[in-house]
Structure 1
């Protein structure tokens, strides 16, 4: 089961996040997904998840997730990630800077029937916000 969940996680990040194919989200997410994003927002359901992802894609046009570690135990998994991208759109009160961003985070997943039913992302927001306010020069 651990190998199967690891593969689901890898495909989820590659397809949904890195390729930005939100129309494929239903292959990975339960219709009743509870998702807590690294920016402090909580959404429910696939539509709520897709709205959150679109907001991030609008702020970071080339957002990319690199998996550093995956630990699976039973129906749960923990993933350590590095997020990169360019700040090309407004995010909360931060106007686009064009800055290249890079920050670390982790996501904790719970699965049912090979679908993600719960995801809680914790990102290093201090590092991210510092990059959104700093001059690139």
Structure 2
């Protein structure tokens, strides 16, 4: 593995911990490329950096105030980093229309991020969020 690939993996780890877990706006601005595109954004949603920040700050964090990210593994090739991880937390606020349940949730995620000059340029991802929402609303 090259030093660039190791650096790119560190950038993704930093993003997950400082931005997703801690909600650090300065780290977010530092780590986002001006040309960033989120290919995993829902249809009609903002595919830029603002849309991603909105999801973390206005959807996930209020619903899961004790949100944590567990990174299981990362693979780097070229300028891409793939991360298998989980977002966990206690569902104490509304989550995409589902009233708080007080239950612990785990959202499994696989992300692919293209890094350019130490910053997020592109993102693709899949999550189990739809299944988690269904489980929360049926119990």
Measured after TM superposition, the shift of residue 134 of structure 1 is: 4.8
Counterpart pick for 2:94 among 87, 90, 93:
90
Say yes or no: does 1:99 pair with 2:103.
yes
After the TM superposition, list the runs of 4 or more consecutive aligned residues in structure 1 that deviate by more than 6 angstroms: none
Match of 1:5 in 2: 8
TM-score, normalised with respect to structure 1: 0.86
Measured after TM superposition, the shift of residue 88 of structure 1 is: 1.6
Q: Distance in 1 between matches of 2:71 and 2:107?
A: 12
SS in 2 for 1:44: coil
* 1:39-118 alignment runs, 5 A limit: 40=42, 42-54=45-57, 55-118=59-122
1:34, 1:43 within 8 Å by CA — same for their partners in 2? no
Q: Distance in 2 between matches of 1:3 and 1:113?
A: 13
Structure 1: gaps of 5 or more residues: none
Structure 2: gaps of 5 or more residues: none
Report how many aligned residue pairs link the two structures: 134
Counterpart pick for 2:36 among 33, 51, 76:
33
TM-score, normalised with respect to structure 2: 0.84
Taking only aligned residues, the RMSD between alpha carbons, in angstroms, comes to 1.9
